[in-house]
Amino acid sequence: MKRLRWPSWMPVDPYILSLVGTVVLAALLPARGTTADVASGTSTGAVALLFFLYGARLSTREAMDGLRHWRLHLTVLVCTFVAFPLLGLAARGLQPLLLSPDLYRGFLFLTLVPSTIQSSIAFTSIARGNVPAAICAGSFSSLFGIVLTPLLAAGLLGGSAGGFSLDALGKIVVQLLVPFLAGQFLRRWVGGFLTRHKKILGYVDRGSILLVVYTAFSEGMVQGIWHQVTVGHLAGLLVVEALLLAVMLAATSYGARRLGFGRGDRVAIQFAGSKKSLASGLPMASVLFGAQASLAVLPLMVFHQMQLMVCAVIAKRRARDPEEPVVTGAVGEDRTTITATAAGGS
């Protein structure tokens, strides 16, 4: 029997449709009472498993080799945790005309989360960029984000982040960082299994995120917070996020060129430095915002789909760029051993 494939011309990623379907399910059948408690506990366990798998998949040797290309990784980290938050703060003046206070908090939180891993790798590969550098850059961003994102949220969002406290930071460490480190420690024993079954485990990744979305939006429905969102503010959110993505794509491209990076590195910087991770942001938002998490993650979900659609077009165009001489000695310039992964996931 011939296997069905998602049409390449379809502008919406199938996983985004799954996310939308999960939101609709939460709106029609929100978890209440004991069911909500079970869903919350299961969601917490699923997120811990998700970050355990992240840690187990990251090759320690690959990460250490990536440190030799520190200028590229530092550039991506500055884009992710400095440039993005500054633009988020600059958007504060758009309240309440374009963004409601709740949507603005979600928008600002969006600018604080780490970069993606999977889609950065996929788009970098399509555009014939430095794929190993994109792998390391995305991995470093996710690892730093476990600590930096809650700290930035504490400083910039303060009490609006669901009452941010040391207890919330502790929950993030226990739920995200500890499983990640456990995965790193056990990699030598489980790494082969994960490599052999990476397709099946990909469904575990995505299923975990869907469960977090359902739990967050269910709680939001029970609390009745969706009555605070208007069509005008949603339209304003689309406009603001489109501008944010355009600015970061232009800044990463121009900035990387001004810093003297080669073509392959510029591609990796543009795709890793202009994205935000849904997989990392959702679990953090559920801890930081509590009942307000559904509104807090809405801007991130919208931005995630937007970045996939726009970057897919850019990657195909950049694939037609003229070749440049490869600079020897830069980590990851050999792109022949790594292939692209699906662009959905993170």
**C-alpha distances in Å from residue 91, one per residue of 105, 176, 325, 329:** 10, 29, 40, 41
**C-alpha distances in Å from residue 282, one per residue of 11, 28, 129:** 23, 21, 28
Query: What share of the chain in percent tops pLDDT 70?
Result: 80
Burial class (CB in 10 A: 0-12, 13-18, 19+), 169: middle
Domain extent, residue 129, equals: 15-23+32-318
- Give domain status of residue 342, yes or no: no
- Give domain status of residue 38, yes or no: yes
Q: Based on the structure, what is the number of domains in the chain?
A: 1
Structure tokens at 186: 């056990």
Task: Please state, in angstroms and rounded to a whole number, the distance separating the CA atoms of residues 74 and 76.
Answer: 5
- What would the pLDDT profile of 300-312 be if each residue is shown by its tens digit? 888 987 888 888 8
pLDDT score recorded for residue 57:
74
pLDDT score recorded for residue 31:
85
pLDDT score recorded for residue 249:
96
Domain of 302, CATH number, reads 1.20.1530.20
pLDDT score recorded for residue 343:
39
- Give domain status of residue 333, yes or no: no
Angle formed by the axes of helices 131-156 and 263-273, nearest 10°: 30
Task: Please state, in angstroms and rounded to a whole number, the distance separating the CA atoms of residues 311 and 320.
Answer: 15
The owner of tokens 């959702």 is 282
- What would the pLDDT profile of 106-161 be if each residue is shown by its tens digit? 999 999 999 987 788 888 888 988 888 888 888 888 888 888 888 888 888 865 55
H helix runs in the chain, sequence order: 14-28, 33-57, 60-66, 70-78, 84-90, 101-110, 118-126, 131-156, 166-172, 178-196, 198-223, 231-258, 263-273, 278-289, 293-318
- For the residues 281-305, what does the mean pLDDT come to? 79
- What would the pLDDT profile of 189-217 be if each residue is shown by its tens digit? 887 887 787 777 777 777 877 887 788 77
- Give domain status of residue 257, yes or no: yes
**Cis peptide bond prior to 96, omega within 30° of 0:** yes
- Give domain status of residue 56, yes or no: yes
pLDDT score recorded for residue 115:
92
The owner of tokens 């121009």 is 254
pLDDT score recorded for residue 122:
82
- Give domain status of residue 201, yes or no: yes
The residue ranking higher by pLDDT, 250 or 188, is: 250
Whether residue 345 has pLDDT greater than 60: no
Confidence at 90, pLDDT banded by 50, 70, 90: very high
Whether residue 330 has pLDDT greater than 70: no
Which of 5-14, 167-176, 195-204, 240-249 is predicted with the least confidence, judged by mean pLDDT? 5-14
- Give domain status of residue 344, yes or no: no
The residue ranking higher by pLDDT, 208 or 234, is: 234
- Give domain status of residue 6, yes or no: no
Whether the model clears a pTM of 0.85, i.e. scores above it, the answer is: no
Task: Please state, in angstroms and rounded to a whole number, the distance separating the CA atoms of residues 57 and 316.
Answer: 28
pLDDT score recorded for residue 333:
44
Confidence at 342, pLDDT banded by 50, 70, 90: very low
DSSP annotation string for 259-292? TT--HHHHHHHHHHHS---HHHHHHHHHHHHGGG
